[in-house]
């Protein structure tokens, strides 16, 4: 009887292998052959799932986005206002090896999105989802009297997005200068400014 293959699981295994290969060699050095070897598959086994490295990178970006959203849903459950904002941002910031690996997938995807309308659209739709969710939490915080600043909610969310996405780049490039502790201090400092107005 032929072996039953769990195709969804195989895709996830390939994405996880992609993280490891990109972490070692960068996106340009990450070949489909090496990714297949890292995942323990024959090179030809990738073809039914990903015809090109770009296809794999797009799937990997979507996988990272979904995994981040699952963590966000868990950590923000029952939280409101600025506490929810803080927990939300923590799941995007590269605070552990998993989130650093995710950043290493996201950064080359951004590079490809510069010249791909489809990738740019996927990124824009994903980031809009995050911005709208954060906007809801910030509005809730302001209504509860937790925010004391004349900066608009939209601008606050813009700042937060710049912080969390920028941290993915700076941590990937200069990990020794951007420790998890520093990233948390920077986020907390900004949230303190929102809460106190000073």
Would you say residue 8 lies in a domain?
no
DSSP codes, 111-134: HHHTT-HHHHHHHHHHHHHHHHHH
CB-based contacts of 85: which residues, under 8 Å, 6+ apart?
Answer: 134, 137, 138, 141, 160, 191
What does each C-alpha distance from 59 to 49, 76, 91, 93, 136 come to in angstroms?
10, 26, 20, 21, 28
Exposure class string for 87-110: b at 16+ Cβ within 10 A, else e: bbbbbbbbbeeebbbbbbbbbbbe
Query: Mean pLDDT over all residues of the chain?
Result: 89
Handedness of CA 36, 39, 40, 44 (dihedral sign): negative
136 falls within a domain: yes
pLDDT of residue 16: 81
CATH number at residue 141: 1.10.357.10
Residue 131, Cβ density class (10 Å: 0-12 exposed, 13-18 middle, ≥19 buried):
middle
Q: Which of the four pLDDT bands, split at 50, 70 and 90, describes residue 52?
A: confident
Indicate the pLDDT class of residue 3, thresholds 50, 70 and 90. Answer: low
Residue 2: predicted pLDDT: 47
pLDDT tens sequence across 81-127: 999 999 999 999 999 988 998 898 899 899 999 999 999 999 999 99
In a domain, 58, yes or no: no
88 in Cβ contact with 133 (< 8 Å)? yes
pLDDT of 71 > 90? The answer is yes
Domain membership flag for residue 141: yes
Residue 144 lies in a domain: yes
Q: Tell me which residue range forms the domain holding 97.
A: 78-196
- What per-residue confidence (pLDDT) applies to 56? 80
Residue 106 has phi, psi (to 5 degrees) of: -65, -40
pLDDT value for 24: 78
Residue 73 counted as domain residue = no
Q: Domain for residue 6, yes or no?
A: no
41 inside domain? no
- What is the per-residue pLDDT for 9? 81
Is 86:75 a contact under the CB 8 Å cutoff? no
* pLDDT per position as a tens digit, 16-46: 887 788 777 777 777 888 888 888 888 777 7
Total domains present in the chain: 1
Q: Alpha carbon 96 to chain centroid distance?
A: 12
């Amino acid at each position: 009887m032929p072996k039953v293959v769990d195709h969804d699981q195989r895709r996830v295994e390939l994405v996880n292998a992609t993280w490891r290969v990109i972490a070692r060699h960068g996106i340009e050095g990450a070949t489909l052959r090496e990714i297949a070897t890292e995942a323990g598959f024959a090179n030809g086994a990738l073809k039914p799932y990903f015809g090109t490295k770009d296809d794999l990178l797009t799937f990997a970006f979507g996988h990272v986005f979904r995994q981040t959203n699952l963590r966000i849903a868990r950590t923000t459950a029952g939280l409101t206002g600025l506490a929810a904002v803080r927990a939300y941002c923590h799941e995007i910031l590269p605070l552990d090896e998993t989130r650093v690996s995710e950043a290493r997938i996201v950064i080359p995807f951004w590079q490809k999105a510069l010249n791909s309308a489809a990738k740019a659209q996927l990124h824009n739709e994903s980031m809009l989802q995050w911005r709208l969710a954060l906007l809801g939490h910030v509005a809730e915080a302001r209504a509860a009297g937790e925010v004391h600043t004349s900066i608009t909610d939209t601008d606050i969310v813009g700042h937060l997005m710049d912080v969390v996405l920028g941290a993915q780049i700076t941590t990937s490039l200069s990990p020794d200068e951007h420790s998890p502790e520093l990233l948390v201090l920077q986020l907390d400092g900004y949230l303190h400014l929102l809460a106190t107005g000073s």
